[in-house]
Structure 1
Amino acid sequence: MGGEHAGRFGGRIALVTGAGSGIGAAVARRLAAQGAEVFAADIDGPAAEAVAKELPRAHPLTVDVGESAEVDRACDEVVRRHGRLDVVVHAAGVDDPMAKEWIAEALGADRPPEVTGRLGDEAWRRVMRVNLDGTFHVLRAALRVMAPRRSGAVVTVGSSSAFDTQAGYPHYAASKAGVHALSQSVAKEAIAFGVRVNTVAPGPTETGMAARTPAALRHGFADPRVRPYATPEEIAHIALFLASDEAANLVGAVLLANGGRFTV
């Protein structure tokens, strides 16, 4: 292929959630650079617009992945414009800055963190609603579009926290473990319809979320024996590999990208 559709994703239609910043923005940029037409979705509409303006053949969408109707509308918009959806990378997610502060305070005082007993229903539901419910909404909407065409690739973003669970961070760990299991179950169903689903599970990565991490916690993640915090671009490269034809035989994979902090 040549011309405007040259590249590994030349001529393909892609939807990226969480595209306004961090890993999602890096994915949107790399997909566009490799030929895709990108729909950049984020709950922060102006951030999505700013990223889309940088890219050729890109369109911003304001989407709260925790609201299933908004996810459905986004996929409907892509299909209305192009009749298909080839690639979805679901990078939208949230952390809990308050729980991180409680953990950091405990570290500073050299005592175990006490979070679970203080964790309110609202904090639990916020993390689960976006991270786990949002992943279900995106997977379901993507399959509804892709399965009838017997083609497509979906990449979800999990976390190394699902394996090396952080004391005092139960809701985040549970949400991301749920993302892994959900993605793998859907992957085994979807491949019968020609759709591949895989997951990248980053370790510490230099995103806006990481920038809000208290210094004591950041110091705890730093280890001279392993690679430093990943860049969003490094994680984006893995996501693009999973979405590409080069990963044709990868189905239900969870690729741990934590710089050597631990293995599973």
Structure 2
Amino acid sequence: MDGEHTRRFGGRIALVTGAGSGIGAAVVRRLGAQGAEVFAADVDGPAAEALAKQVPGAHSLAVDVADPAQVDGAFDEVVRRHGRLDVVVHAAGVDDPTAKEWIAEALVADRPPDVTGRLGDDAWGRVMRVNLDGAFHVLRAALRVMTPHRSGAVVTVGSSSVFDAPAGYPHYAASKAGVHALSQSVAKEAIAFGVRVNTVAPGPTETGMAARTPAALRRGFADPRVRPYATPEEIADIALFLAGDEAANLVGAVLLANGGRFTV
């Protein structure tokens, strides 16, 4: 990359959730390499701290996005230090390994998955609290900080599962569909105050979630007609595009990044 491109976020203050691993960690590294001062936030505080030590000028924050007080506290800390926040990438999220196992068992047995009737309230609630409520907490906090300055860019991480709605994964698909709709609604409101909100919707990506995916399901994604699992860095590059000046005319966009598995 040329020198200008490597500094395209120079002087900007950024906060990234889910920064302890996967896409969030890749976003932190990319933003740091391109000149931003980054706050790496994760529910796993030591993981965020370890990453921050690897990225010049980065700071770590222990944040559970399902807890609105913790989210507000993290944003308040950034404002206390810098008086503003220019970029937010919300990558925090959870999956349901147990539901994945049930789907894989059905696949191996060549029978339809039977998941919804077995889902407990705790499993449903956990996915919704982190994925959907967490996105609301982060978007709300971001707008509170950014709208007074009439500038800022927020990128949420959705999922291609919103579009193909995989059988046996209703809570995850619903939570991410909520993220997409929430982000688009907020985008229409926020742009009047100079703040852009957009979404990247990854397909299968080599993250910690993917590592927990049963082998039978992973084989199902191994289609030679499409690109293999994305790397976290490939998805991070899309997030940075959406957060950057090059995407100035994108508002409420949902960029499907699933390697050609399907289109919408």
TM-score, normalization by structure 2: 0.98
The one-letter amino acid paired with 1:70 is Q
Who is 2:21 aligned against?
21
Which residue does 1:191 correspond to in 2?
A: 191
2:80 is matched with 80
Q: CA deviation at 1:129?
A: 0.3
Deviation at 1:59, TM superposition (A): 0.5
Partner of 1:225: 225
Helix, strand or coil for the counterpart of 1:163? helix
How far apart are residue 222 of structure 1 and its match? 1.3
Give the AA of the match of 1:79.
V
Q: State, as a whole percentage, how many aligned pairs show the same letter.
A: 88
For 2:101, the equivalent position in structure 1 comes to 101
2:169 aligns with: 169
For 1:171, the aligned partner's letter is H
Write the letter of the residue equivalent to 2:248.
Answer: A
Aligned AA (2:75): C
Instruction: Give 1:208's aligned residue.
Output: 208
- Match of 1:31? 31
Count residues with an aligned counterpart. Answer: 261
| Superposed structure 1 runs of 4+ greater than 4 Å apart | none
Partner in structure 2 of residue 70 of structure 1 = 70
Deviation, 1:179, is: 0.3
Q: 1:111-158: per-residue Cα shift (whole Å, max 9, x none)? A: 000000000000000000000000000000000000000000000000
Quick one: distance in 1 between partners of 2:178 and 2:217? Answer: 24
- Tell me the TM-score normalised to structure 1 length: 0.98
- In structure 2, runs of 5+ residues without a counterpart are none
Residue identity matched to 1:19: A
Letter in 2 for 1:12: R
Give matches, 1:141-156, under 5 Å. 141-156=141-156
CA distance in 1, matches of 2:172, 2:217: 15
Give, in whole Å, the separation in 2 of the partners of 1:56 and 1:76. Answer: 22
Amino acid at match of 1:95: D
Q: What's the CA shift string for 1:56-113, capped at 9, x where partnerless?
A: 1110000000000000000000000000000000000000000000000000100000
Which secondary structure state, in structure 1, belongs to the residue aligned with residue 10 of structure 2? coil
| Cα separation, 2, equivalents of 1:229 and 1:58 | 28
Which letter maps to 1:43? V
2:131 is aligned with 1:131: yes
Alpha-carbon distance in 2 for matches of 1:195, 1:222: 39
State the partner residue of 1:114. Answer: 114
Structure 1 position 182 matched with structure 2 position 188 = no
What's the secondary structure of 2:164's corresponding residue?
coil
Letter in 2 for 1:63: V
Q: Which residue of 2 aligns with 1:58?
A: 58
Tell me how far 1:221 sits from its aligned partner.
1.1
> Secondary structure at 1:60's aligned position in 2?
strand
Q: Measure the CA separation in 2 of the matches of 1:26 and 1:59.
A: 15
SS of structure 1 residue aligned to 2:14:
strand
CA distance in 2 between partners of 1:225 and 1:107 (Å): 21
What is the deviation of 1:17? 0.2
Taking the aligned partners of 1:221 and 1:196, their CA distance within structure 2 comes to 33
Q: Which amino acid aligns with 1:148?
A: P
The one-letter amino acid paired with 2:37 is: E
